[in-house]
Amino acid sequence: MRAPDWLTARPVAHRGLHDDARGIVESMPGAFRAAIAGNFSIETDIQLTADGEAMVHHDDELGRLTEGSGALRTKTAAELRQVVFKNTSERMMSLADLCRLVAGRVPLVIEVKSRFDGDRRLVRRMAEVLSSYNGPAAGMSFDPDQVLALRELIPSRPRGIVAERLYTEADWPDTTPNQRAAMTHLRHAFRTRPHFVAYSVSDLPDITPWIARNIFRCALLTWTVRTPEQRARAAKYADQMIFEGFHPGI
């Protein structure tokens, strides 16, 4: 299966169309409503809870964006649904909550967060939620094992690998040297068979995404585009951008 046209048809709002100046915090419901209003696709992250739910949040820990503290994985979905985003009245959502909010109006590009420990419960829950969702949605992860889980558990949905040029122990403390080697240059691709690659804009141009795009015909997204220079680089080397910090015209 090739990546569908909808994946690259419009810019992708990174963690929703957030804007601190307007009190719209990344990953909160208002950021997703703003992306829908702008007709942008939505990139978001999901995290596993103590009771196996998929919650929409980038950080492993509470506190940077929200009230409270502690690791998401130690809390239940009911507890996390009570967590308030700072300086707002809005609360954290589950993936099912997000699907109900979006209702197929714009595509979802869902990043599966991973501890690189082989745990597939998050992808299993994602598969359950998406089984009753009719809107366009794709899954992706930095972790090749999670992309393989997407391939096996949600084969009808597009899947991608999030990637960059270099993986160091300092930046990826949960990984082993063998895992980092497998991530480099998309060496896992014949096993995971991604339909698209989401590559760091700071690392473009690079031979690895060039081969994925031009030889294997993978769609190429690039993250996270914030400046005019990065936007020009994305337009030159990728099929679509994952952006934040500005409002691109369509």
* Domain encompassing residue 31: 5-243
Asked whether residue 250 is assigned to any structural domain, the reply reads: no
User: What average pLDDT does range 13-33 have in this prediction?
Assistant: 97
Could you tell me the two tokens for 211?
Answer: 């081969």
DSSP3 helix / strand / coil % (the chain, rounded to 5): 35, 25, 45
CATH number at residue 51: 3.20.20.190
Q: Is the pLDDT of residue 241 over 60?
A: yes
Helix H or strand E segment including 243: strand 240-243
- pTM comes to 0.97
Residue closest to 131 by CA, chosen among 156, 165, 151 = 156
Q: Is the pLDDT of residue 185 over 60?
A: yes
Query: What's the pLDDT tens digit per position in 42-80?
Result: 999 999 999 999 999 999 999 999 999 999 999 999 999
Asked whether residue 227 is assigned to any structural domain, the reply reads: yes
Sign of CA dihedral 235, 222, 191, 181: positive
Could you tell me the two tokens for 21?
Answer: 């100046």
Asked whether residue 87 is assigned to any structural domain, the reply reads: yes
Cα Rg, the chain, nearest whole Å: 17
Distance (Å, rounded) from C-alpha 241 to C-alpha 234? 6
Average pLDDT, the chain: 97
In the chain, the amino acid numbered 38 is G
DSSP letter string, 143-189: -HHHHHHHHHH-TTS-EEEEE-S---TTT-TTS-HHHHHHHGGGTTH
Asked whether residue 207 is assigned to any structural domain, the reply reads: yes
Asked whether residue 248 is assigned to any structural domain, the reply reads: no
With contact defined as beta carbons under 8 Å apart, do 93 and 55 qualify? Answer: yes
With contact defined as beta carbons under 8 Å apart, do 25 and 86 qualify? Answer: yes
With contact defined as beta carbons under 8 Å apart, do 146 and 181 qualify? Answer: no
Helices 121-130 + 144-153 axis angle, to 10? 40
Q: Is the pLDDT of residue 249 over 90?
A: no
Residue bearing tokens 């679509």: 240
Q: Is the pLDDT of residue 250 over 60?
A: no
Asked whether residue 229 is assigned to any structural domain, the reply reads: yes
Q: According to the model, what pLDDT value does residue 98 have? A: 98
User: Helices (DSSP H) in 17-170: which residue ranges?
Assistant: 29-37, 77-80, 95-102, 121-130, 144-153
Asked whether residue 48 is assigned to any structural domain, the reply reads: yes
Asked whether residue 21 is assigned to any structural domain, the reply reads: yes
User: What average pLDDT does range 103-112 have in this prediction?
Assistant: 98
Number of domains into which the chain is organized: 1
